């Protein structure tokens, strides 16, 4: 592919995003990890706050798990922030508190896969390597009429090779331009804006009228359904929470009491029904039913702590899956 038109288009039209005005590898790293599975608009305030709280790799490496979870609260996929800390420790111990400079070395850090390594190495250090994310996969599947299932490793490998063949010297702008094209012009669901696309003259799917057929996406993931009842125990301005195990789903986050299955008001006794809520994870769907239960005495229960509402707001990170019930709690104490 001839990338001249693409890069000029990018330089004239790119969205102004805070991580685009920096060549600081640490800042680029944080933005790339936050942007995984999360929309750009949602990331901006988190990115700025995170760098205020943890301005250097050293400070990140020393941060408490709770403070990191709190800074990440609402972004989801919390293992990302724990991996950031582990990788920061690796940088401090092995790389003089700096991010290593090559794609291959970056790949040795926790939580950095081929895409993030390629993005950091090319954006920050101008190493001539590909950075293939979902947007790049879609653009290239159309550009080169790639017929493989876009969710397969075979497809990702094939497209990575095609991108590598196309890489110009200005690799930082090229990689970002392809992603920007995928985010703003070569968009999914029949909405591609080929009439203003800077590479339409080189695009096979456009030439052959196959834009709505490509990329091919074959999914076979069915979510497992789990039913839980959420019991929000309150007592004298406090609420009872527990910390989840340090591995597995929503590791180390704080939750209300959760019991398997759906119970009824009769089962829980005097309580206020807080309604149902469904939350989707990548492989699991939670079907929740919530109750608020008032206590006159704050009895201790193993594994649980009583905390003030302000501590829920400021200290103890809770998953977004329980937001409905946390909001109900705020209303209750208003
Ligand atoms: S011409 Fe259309 S399908 Fe081809 S790359 Fe451009 S926007 Fe995507």
**What's the pLDDT score for residue 101?**
95
Query: Quick one: average pLDDT of 233-251?
Result: 93
CA-nearest residue for atom 2, ligand 1, is 194
Examine the pLDDT at 283 and tell me if it is beyond 90. no
CA-nearest residue for atom 4, ligand 1, is 203
Q: What is the pLDDT of residues 113-140, one digit of tens each?
A: 999 999 999 999 999 999 999 999 999 9
**What's the pLDDT score for residue 28?**
97
DSSP letters for 16-74: --GGGG---HHHHHHHHHHHTTS-HHHHHHHHHHHHHHS-SHHHHHH--HHHHHHHHTT
Is the distance from the beta carbon of residue 138 to the nearest atom of ligand 1 less than 6 Å?
A: no
Active-site residue flag, 32: yes
> Positive or negative, the Cα torsion across 299, 300, 302, 306?
positive
Is the distance from the beta carbon of residue 186 to the nearest atom of ligand 1 less than 6 Å?
A: yes
Is the distance from the beta carbon of residue 238 to the nearest atom of ligand 1 less than 6 Å?
A: no
Query: Quick one: average pLDDT of 295-318?
Result: 93
**What's the pLDDT score for residue 322?**
95
Query: Quick one: average pLDDT of 50-61?
Result: 97
**What's the pLDDT score for residue 331?**
87
Query: Quick one: average pLDDT of 18-27?
Result: 92
**Ordered domains of the chain (ranges, CATH):** 4-207 (1.10.340.30), 224-333 (3.90.79.10)
The secondary structure of residue 176, as a DSSP letter, is H
Q: What is the pLDDT of residues 179-199, one digit of tens each?
A: 999 999 999 988 899 999 999
**What's the pLDDT score for residue 113?**
94
Q: Using an 8 Å Cβ cutoff, are 255 and 241 in contact?
A: yes
Question: 131: closest CA among 143, 122, 140, 142?
Answer: 122
CA-nearest residue for atom 8, ligand 1, is 186
Contacts of 41 (CB under 8 A, 6+ apart): none
Q: Ligand 1 mean position to 23 CA, how many Å?
A: 29
Q: Ligand 1 mean position to 6 CA, how many Å?
A: 12
CA-nearest residue for atom 1, ligand 1, is 200
Is the distance from the beta carbon of residue 131 to the nearest atom of ligand 1 less than 6 Å?
A: no
- Dist CA 84 CA 272 (whole Å): 40
- Dist CA 115 CA 129 (whole Å): 10
Pick from 192, 204, 215, 216 the residue to mutate for probing ligand 1's pocket: most ligand atoms within 8 Å of its CB. Answer: 192
**What's the pLDDT score for residue 194?**
97
- Dist CA 134 CA 188 (whole Å): 11
DSSP letters for 106-173: HTTSTT--HHHHHHHHHHHH--S-----HHHHHHHHHHTT--SBTTSHHHHHHHHHHHHHH--S-HHH
Q: What is this structure's pTM?
A: 0.78
> Positive or negative, the Cα torsion across 49, 51, 52, 54?
positive
**What's the pLDDT score for residue 215?**
95
Instruction: Please state, rounded to an integer, the average pLDDT across all residues of the chain.
Output: 94
Examine the pLDDT at 141 and tell me if it is beyond 90. yes
Q: Which of 32, 127, 180, 257 is catalytic?
A: 32
Q: 201: pLDDT confidence band, cut at 50, 70 and 90?
A: very high
Examine the pLDDT at 42 and tell me if it is beyond 90. yes
**What's the pLDDT score for residue 152?**
92
Examine the pLDDT at 47 and tell me if it is beyond 80. yes
**What's the pLDDT score for residue 131?**
97
Query: Quick one: average pLDDT of 288-316?
Result: 94
Q: Ligand 1 mean position to 36 CA, how many Å?
A: 23
Q: How far is CA 2 from each of CA 50, 145, 189, 203, rounded to the nearest angstrom?
A: 38, 17, 26, 11
Q: Ligand 1 mean position to 139 CA, how many Å?
A: 7
């Amino acid at each position: 592919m001839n990338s001249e038109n693409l890069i000029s288009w990018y330089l004239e039209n790119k969205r102004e995003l805070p991580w685009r005005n920096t060549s600081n590898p640490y800042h680029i790293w944080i933005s790339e990890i936050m942007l995984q599975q999360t929309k750009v608009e949602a990331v901006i305030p988190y990115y700025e706050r995170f760098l205020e709280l943890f301005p250097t790799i050293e400070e990140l490496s020393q941060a408490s798990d709770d403070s990191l979870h709190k800074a990440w609260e609402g972004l989801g996929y919390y293992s990302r922030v724990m991996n950031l800390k582990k990788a920061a420790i690796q940088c401090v111990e092995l790389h003089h508190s700096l991010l290593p400079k090559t794609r291959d070395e970056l790949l040795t850090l926790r939580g950095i896969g081929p895409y993030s390594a390629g993005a950091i190495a090319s954006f920050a250090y101008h190493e001539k390597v590909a950075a293939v994310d979902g947007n790049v996969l879609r653009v290239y599947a159309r550009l080169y009429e790639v017929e493989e299932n876009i969710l397969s490793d075979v497809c990702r490998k094939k497209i990575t090779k095609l991108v590598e063949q196309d890489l110009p010297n200005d690799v930082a702008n090229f990689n970002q331009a392809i992603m920007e094209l995928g985010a703003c012009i070569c968009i999914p669901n029949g909405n591609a804006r080929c009439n203003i696309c800077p590479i339409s003259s080189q695009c096979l799917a456009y030439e052959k009228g196959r834009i709505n057929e490509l990329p091919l996406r074959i999914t076979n993931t069915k979510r497992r359904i789990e039913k839980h009842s959420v019991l929000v125990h309150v007592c004298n301005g406090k609420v009872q929470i527990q910390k989840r195990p340090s591995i597995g789903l929503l590791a180390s986050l704080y939750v209300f009491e959760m019991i398997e299955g759906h119970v009824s008001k009769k089962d829980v006794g005097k309580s206020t029904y807080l309604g149902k809520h469904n939350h989707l994870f990548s492989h699991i769907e939670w079907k929740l039913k919530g109750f608020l239960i008032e206590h006159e005495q704050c009895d201790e229960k193993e594994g649980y702590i009583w905390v003030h509402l302000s501590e829920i707001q400021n200290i103890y990170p809770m998953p977004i899956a329980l937001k409905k019930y946390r909001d109900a709690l705020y209303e209750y104490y208003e």
